[in-house]
Amino acid sequence: MTSGAPSTRHIISILVEDRYGELARIVGLFSGRGYNIDSLAVNRSTEPGMSRVVLTTRGDAAVVEQILKQVNKLVRVHKVRHLEGDSHLERELCVTTVRTQSARAREELERVIKLTGARVLAFSATAFTVEATGTSSDIDHFLELLRPLGIRDMVRSAPIALTRAGAEAEAHALEVSALS
């Protein structure tokens, strides 16, 4: 089993009614049953009155099965999806301000921007604020490249993930098998 190891990371996508206390119910379920949430992203979805929650957690196959079932049991949760394998795309946003006091530093930053597709959001005589998107490891790599320049400030979002075009059928089959 690919997801058998206790430390395997899992992405779970939840469609839940946007109501008072529903997020607390999801989060409370994790803490109450001893599961950890590594990251959490919540925002509106395309369906009116519904929020999309994307969270990552860790555990073996049995733990994930329980998590999926327990979340699905929540009264106002409409859909739970375990995003597995290469059926989905994952993106994280990072915004960071780096020091660029020397010409050499500005050149180096330019090189990193070209390499990673990052974007300049603001700048001053001594610093640039840039944003990058990518998978968690892309962002790790991006920050590694910037580290020699001196990172003054940094914020990164929780990863969001979506079933990629062409993989919907596969994801649906997984969802059904996990919950039946």
Instruction: Name the residues that contact another protein, by CB under 8 A.
Output: 17, 20-21, 24-25, 28-29, 32, 62, 65-66, 69-70, 72-73, 75-78, 179-180
3-state SS, 66-103, equals: HHHHHHHHCCCEEEEEEECCCCEEEEEEEEEEEECCCH
Task: Report the candidate in 152, 69, 162 with the shortest Cα–Cα distance to residue 105.
Answer: 152
Q: Which is nearer to another protein, 49 or 166 (CB)?
A: 49
Instruction: Tell the smallest beta-carbon distance from residue 83 to another protein (Å).
Output: 20
Instruction: Tell the smallest beta-carbon distance from residue 79 to another protein (Å).
Output: 8
Q: Which is nearer to another protein, 24 or 165 (CB)?
A: 24
* Token digits of residue 149: 């320049």
Instruction: Tell the smallest beta-carbon distance from residue 66 to another protein (Å).
Output: 6
